[in-house]
Structure 1
Amino acid sequence: MVSTLLALVLAVVGTFSADLPGAVASTPPARAAAPLAGRIVVIDPGHQLGNSRHLAQIDRLVWIGNGRKPCNTTGTATHAGYPEATFAWRVAQRMKRRLEGLGARVILTRPANSTALWGPCVDVRGRRGNAVHADAKISIHGDGSYAAGAHGFHVIYAPDNGLTADTYRASRALALDTRAALGRAGFARANYVAGGDGLDVRSDLGTLNLSDMATVMVECGNMRNAADAARMTSAHGQRRYARALVRGVRSYLAAR
């Protein structure tokens, strides 16, 4: 009985003590910060669904930092006609949701996947995120090689030259983390790219050249290969790509 009365008294005191002068109400422990809080990631879904309807616009030459190239291209497709632009867009949307769930701010280089739209040009894509000092950029693509048996992914980054000397090391680190994440997810490295190590270094891509942050372009697979195409056009396959690419970004950012 005594213990019961004591418990009742303590409960009543606890209820009203917060109203007493100088009393401090108890608060729940603060939630842990999201792992990517404060980070900015740019996702570039390659091409645009309407590029083929706006050839005059995408054929216009733009400056890519070390020369001039067409504004954009139509992109490739599977033998059944599934567009690279749609694959890239759907993976980008899945990545965006995951990254935002981890606390990151995500910037897309195009607003939609539409036959009514074209571009933006590669110079615009390359500069996207520079003004806000984004932490990383990943450009999503599918390849269209007709080489017999060509399949697998490869990750492209810019070389260490005068144009990209300030971003080379960071971009290479992002490329290595991206390759590792795709490999752990069960994706095979491209068997048709020189070296066979899943990496490629190119100086002719405006998306890479004009970025002031760690930037890579990922050819997720060969859309002309039946096995790659089946994976790239399925919702399950697109989720697998998105999960792996997000893991690559997280791994890169965790070290910085």
Structure 2
Amino acid sequence: MSYLGPEFDPPQPRRSRRRPLTVALAVLVPGALLGWVAYEAVGGGGGAAAAPGARGGSAVSSPAPSSPSAPSASPADGGTRASGPAPADGPLKGKVVVVDPGHNPGNFQHPDEINRKVDIGTNWKECDTTGTSTNDGYTEARFSLDVAHRLRTLLEQQGATVKLTHDGDSPAWGPCVDERARIGNAAHADAAVSIHADGSAEGDRGFHVILPGSVHAGAADTRPIVDSSHDLGTRIAGTFLRDTGEPPSNYLGEGTGLVTRTDLGGLNLSTVPKVFIECGNMRDSKDAALLTSGAWRQKAAQGISEGIVSFLRAS
């Protein structure tokens, strides 16, 4: 997701690097707060983590993985499509998840279509953007679609029904941001996640999860989904941190890994629990090395999957 696109504000001022990089993972289970996960315990690398959240002080272990072992990651974009119909049985049987790969590889060839204005409730914005890319030309659209395929496979292995808003070549561009929200709404999704990568400056590192703020204007009314989306987002933030070792953003969210916004049509128009995740910054050389790695994208899909599974099992 590039901050130069019509869906996005300019980047906020850089935060001091001296501030600890922590993520507030409020993983809620019925009647209890399970714990907080923080970056310090990761030690700057991957693997399991345990630590305090940005708003808490005590360190506890992060929740155990709830998805099965990840399949072997392919070195490139191939080999990531779903394995077929969801199994008849599984812990997520009956649950519907909508996965929204940010942008579309075909958007570059359809400028007139994606520049068409659509109503997002609070105002009108362009249908979609091309997204960003690494300095070497690996596009956000390719990245998000690859992670979406991997995520679909993992969730289907758990018995979930998974719907993608697009699959690269179908449709050939878009869909528009309002249609992406409607796809999740029409599916009565139990959870929806939009997958992105950022396009900020070199030195800006880390992931952040975007939560819907409270909006009630025009066709947009997020009030019924704000709390559930926050729960979904904090769970994904914690498991993504643990599984990938990617730190929370050092330029947005003040080290929490969480950002609340009210200017995104894909969130404003959603009637089901939904979040965006910016998996890293494509314009930073260290993050780009991860985002272009098939093995790391498998970890990213695993982290997102485990957060969704945790949310659905608690709901």
TM-score (norm 2): 0.69
More helix by share: 1
1:50 matched to 2:109? The reply is no
Contact 2:208 2:259 in 1 (8 A): yes
Q: How does 1:92-111 map to 2 (within 5 A)?
A: 92-111=148-167
RMSD: 1.6
The match for 1:164 is 222
Q: How many residues align?
A: 224
> What amino acid maps onto 2:304 in structure 1?
L
Distance across 2 between alignment mates of 1:197 and 1:243: 20
Between 1:124-133 and 1:174-183, the stretch displaced more is 124-133
Contact 1:136 1:249 in 2 (8 A): yes
Gapped runs of 5+ residues in structure 2?
Answer: 1-87
1:151 matched to 2:213? The reply is no
Distance across 1 between alignment mates of 2:223 and 2:183: 19
Alignment equivalent of 1:228, drawn from 287, 308, 314: 287
Shift of 1:33: 4.2
Distance across 1 between alignment mates of 2:265 and 2:251: 23
1:62 matched to 2:155? The reply is no
Contact 1:175 1:216 in 2 (8 A): yes
> What amino acid maps onto 2:104 in structure 1?
Q
Distance across 1 between alignment mates of 2:196 and 2:187: 24
Shift of 1:160: 2.2
The match for 1:119 is 174
Distance across 1 between alignment mates of 2:253 and 2:162: 33
User: SS in structure 2 opposite 1:173?
Assistant: helix
The match for 1:178 is 236
Distance across 2 between alignment mates of 1:113 and 1:80: 23
Superposed CA deviations along residues 165-184 of structure 1, whole A, max 9, x for unmatched, are 01000000011001111121
Contact 2:215 2:268 in 1 (8 A): no
Shift of 1:133: 1.2
Contact 1:89 1:113 in 2 (8 A): no
Please say which structure displays the higher CA radius of gyration: 1
Gapped runs of 5+ residues in structure 1?
Answer: 1-31
1:195 matched to 2:254? The reply is yes
User: SS in structure 1 opposite 2:224?
Assistant: coil
Alignment equivalent of 2:195, drawn from 93, 116, 140: 140
Contact 1:45 1:88 in 2 (8 A): yes
Distance across 1 between alignment mates of 2:184 and 2:212: 17
Superposed CA deviations along residues 22-54 of structure 1, whole A, max 9, x for unmatched, are xxxxxxxxxx94110000000000000111111
Superposed CA deviations along residues 117-163 of structure 1, whole A, max 9, x for unmatched, are 210100000111212311000000000002x4101000001112322
> What amino acid maps onto 2:247 in structure 1?
A
Q: How does 1:4-15 map to 2 (within 5 A)?
A: none
Distance across 1 between alignment mates of 2:291 and 2:275: 19
Contact 1:189 1:196 in 2 (8 A): yes
Identity %: 46
Superposed CA deviations along residues 177-235 of structure 1, whole A, max 9, x for unmatched, are 01111121122101010422111111111111111111000000000011111111111
The match for 1:215 is 274
1:242 matched to 2:301? The reply is yes
> What amino acid maps onto 2:233 in structure 1?
A
